[in-house]
Chains A and B, each alone.
Chain A
């Protein structure tokens, strides 16, 4: 799996992962085929893909969204995530 920390902050304290809009998703699975980090998972009997391992997602990577034809994948605001990381570091929560 990817590094357990990002910029010295434990990965689980950074809320950066994809969100799928099932109203737009066409179940083409292009995102799952691309992502090498097993962020997504297919469940038997369900055509939908789920974001099963959000902390595997590489912080600031948006490649799955850029590969999504129907534009169904969104990410948090980058500037807010950077501020969140800096805050954890300032509080001494980094490693």
Chain B
């Protein structure tokens, strides 16, 4: 498989200079092939082999995520992503205002390339909890216009941000509803929290990206992440095909399930909520 790097190279922001440096240094140090965003936009055929068989590391300078959107537009497989503005915030060192790369920008680029070299693009599949999760068989169906939104009739609980939890023993699987997957359209990237992360109910549990939006996964339950669905990471399309079964996102050992449940909706109440919101654009 050809591994390549697509960076935003935005010329109007210092983050763009850092993104470009990450691409150049990443190519040198990790042997990644550079994909020029302008040429990719103008003549995608030039990168046919990479687009059909390869995998991209995408480097966005800022949250406009031009490189991510471009990758989605041409249907590329994204195996890894870097957002320079976020990394700069996390480092606590504000970038120089100049469009030329300064010492702070260069140090940030070096550290991001170091991360690229040390972290494999696909983590080894985390062990699943071993709990048995049967796929749902009965559904409530909300219809609006030509759309149909399915909701499992039993066993699933929902928060009002369209994230479900299904508990078996002390473990819950978490995923997004059919309604949300249809709203997001094609999900192109799943960025999960690391295994071992402790999450509070309604805290952030990773993100999903589509060409439309970056969706923050709002935790329906509190607990510790024990497994990530690597199949969805490798092929986010599963999420659109089977959001309640094979498209689960995370497994979590529950901290206080009874207390969390009081703040969640049962399937019938969630169906009412979808019904009220379905008419929105």
Contacts and interface: CB of A to CB of B under 8 A. Distances in A.
Contacts, number: 57
B214 A63 contact: yes
Range for the number of chain A residues in contact with chain B: 20 to 34
B214 A67 contact: yes
B187 to A, nearest CB: 14
Contact of A63 (B64, B160, B213, B273): B213
Which label, helix, strand, loop or mixed, suits the secondary structure of the A interface?
loop
Contacts of A61: 161, 216
Contacts of B263: 7
Which label, helix, strand, loop or mixed, suits the secondary structure of the B interface?
loop
Contacts of A48: none
A66 B64 contact: no
Contact of A2 (B64, B65, B202, B280): B280
B62 A66 contact: no
Range for the number of chain B residues in contact with chain A: 20 to 34
Contact of A71 (B63, B200, B201, B215): B63
B48 to A, nearest CB: 30
Contacts of B218: 60
A78 B13 CA distance: 30
B147 to A, nearest CB: 14
Interface in A23-81: 28, 30, 34, 36-37, 58-63, 65-71, 78-79
Contacts of B213: 34, 63, 66-67
B63 A67 contact: yes
Given A36-B280, A71-B63, A82-B202, A7 B160 contact: yes
Interface of B: 13, 62-65, 85, 160-161, 200-203, 207, 212-216, 218, 263, 273, 276-277, 280-281
Given A2-B277, A69-B13, A71-B63, 16 more contacts: A3-B160, A3-B277, A34-B212, A59-B161, A60-B202, A60-B218, A63-B216, A65-B63, A66-B63, A66-B213, A68-B64, A69-B62, A69-B64, A78-B203, A79-B200, A82-B201
